[in-house]
Amino acid sequence: MNSRTFERFMILLRRELWESNRLFIASPVVLAGLILVAMLWALLQIPEPMKRQAIQQMETYLQGVSPFQVMPVFMAPAIPFVIVLYVCAVIYLVNALYHDRRDSSILFWQSMPVSNLATVLSKVVTVCFLAPLFAALACGVLILFSVTAISVLAASYDSVIAGFWSLLGAGLYSILLVYLTSVLGALWLFPTIGWILLFSAYVKSLPYLWTFGAFILLLFMEDLVFGTQFLANWVESRTSNYNYIVFSVGDFFQRLLSYDMLIGVAFGAVLLVGAVNMRRFAD
Amino acid sequence: MNKILSVLLKDRHRLLLATIAAYIVLVVIEGVVMDRESRVYTFENPYFELQLNNIEEFQSNH
């Protein structure tokens, strides 16, 4: 890839973020804002003795334990962000290749020196690598606020919870892990991304119905006609979250290079090839 | 090869069917090679012994 192609690709990514900023930037920011307000409200409402008790329990829990050893606790606030990210990603993918055909702007984009492959790849990179970044950053603000609030509360009650810098380090590390988990989750569900993009490039109307209806129909047809459930089994194997939730950077590379991950990406790529070629039919 | 490609890329419907067929064939081959369980959802329940593929026996027993 020469520098010019790379530059064009970066412009495509900027276009994706510009067009979908409400999905991938505003949604996690709004969610973080709502949770922050709820946390502040809770901090003000909870009576002093209960707060003191909670801090003491936390102190006991982290006695002699490094915060880095309890990363799942730090990553827990990411759950609503990951759920919102998934919902936004599905909405984005379903409309990604459908909307520009619907409003005929595909004709304009195809007149530009940008290939269909680059267009589809920009959508994939956006949903796999950029969207998780904003979700992780918004979640990170929440984690850092929690760490600061806990440290300040602990100091006001003359308690010491693992030390502020240690907590802060674990908080920052958990932001990285939330990002890596989200990226792995997207790659783990790569066949789903390929499937949705294929139908997004194909349908002329009712994209949600076609995308999910066709898959459900195929699941039933396989069982009815052949008496097998390979597709259902494939879907079931993709629902195991053990394969993409990571609690250390080492885990990330182990999961990334696992057979199941790579075969999923390869199968998703087959569907993406279909989506890229489907862009030829712009009408 | 070129002829096959030109036939597949003739219209959007053919391309969709060809892509889905290729995907399913790959999933099935991988499932057979890796010996994945081909039946996942059965109506097995210790409190309810209906098996749809053995409905006569169920009727005769009840």
Q: DSSP letter string over A97-157?
A: TTHHHHTSHHHHHHHSS--HHHHHHHHHHIIIIIHHHHHHHHHHHHHHHHHHHHHHHHHHT
pLDDT tens digits along A9-37: 999 999 999 999 999 999 999 999 999 99
Chain B residues near residue A236 by CB distance under 8 angstroms: 40
Q: Which tens digit of pLDDT belongs to each residue from A84-126?
A: 999 999 999 999 989 888 888 888 888 888 888 999 999 999 9
Task: Kindly list the distances between the CA atom of residue B56 and the CA atoms of A35, A51, A227, A228, in Å, as whole numbers in the listed order.
Answer: 57, 65, 19, 22
- Which among A125, A171, A130 is positioned nearest to A1, based on CA atoms? A125
B24 contacts A218? CB cut-off 8 A = yes
Distance from C-alpha of A2 to C-alpha of A158, rounded to nearest angstrom? 59
- Convert the pLDDT of each residue in A215-227 to its tens digit: 999 988 888 888 8
Comparing CB atoms, the residue among A218, A267, A281 nearest residue B26 is A267
Task: Using the predicted structure, report yes or no on whether residue B37 has a pLDDT greater than 70.
Answer: no
Phi, psi of B48 (to 5 degrees): -150, 110
Domain-by-domain residue ranges, chain B? 22-62
At B45, is the pLDDT very low, low, confident or very high (cuts 50, 70, 90)? low
d(CA A246, CA A224): 38
Place of tokens 């674990």: A170
Q: Which residues of B touch A271 (CB under 8 A)?
A: 19, 23
Phi/psi at A274 (5° precision): -60, -45
Query: What distance in Å separates residue A125's CA from the closest CA in chain B?
Result: 22
Residues of A in contact with B14 (CB under 8 A): none
**Mean pLDDT of the residues in chain A:** 88
pLDDT of residue A239: 80
Residue from B7, B14, B16 to probe the interface with A (highest A Cβ count within 10 Å) = B16
User: Element (H or E) spanning A31, and its range?
Assistant: helix A27-45
Taking any CB pair shorter than 8 Å as contact, residues of chain B touching chain A are: 9, 11-12, 15-16, 18-20, 22-24, 26-28, 30-32, 36-41
Gap between the Cα atoms of B24 and B22, Å rounded: 6
Q: How far is residue B30's CA from residue A263's CA, in Å, rounded to a whole number? A: 9
Of the candidates B23, B28, B40, which has its C-beta nearest A236's C-beta?
A: B40
Question: CA-CA distance, A269 to B53, in Å (whole number)?
Answer: 37
pTM, full prediction? 0.86
Q: With beta carbons less than 8 A apart as the criterion, state whether A184 and A177 touch.
A: no
Looking at residue A194, the DSSP 8-state letter turns out to be: H
Element (H, E) at B32: helix B12-33
Give A-chain residues touching B52 at CB under 8 angstroms. Answer: none
Amino acid, single-letter form, for residue A128 = C
* Distance from C-alpha of A209 to C-alpha of A98, rounded to nearest angstrom: 13
Mean pLDDT of the B30-51 span: 66
Tell which wins on pLDDT, A114 or A186: A186
- Which H or E run contains A199? helix A190-202
Q: In chain B, which residue's Cα lies nearest the Cα of A274?
A: B19
Nearest residue, CB atoms, B40 vs list A233, A277, A280: A233
Question: Are the beta carbons of A233 and B38 separated by less than 8 Å?
Answer: yes
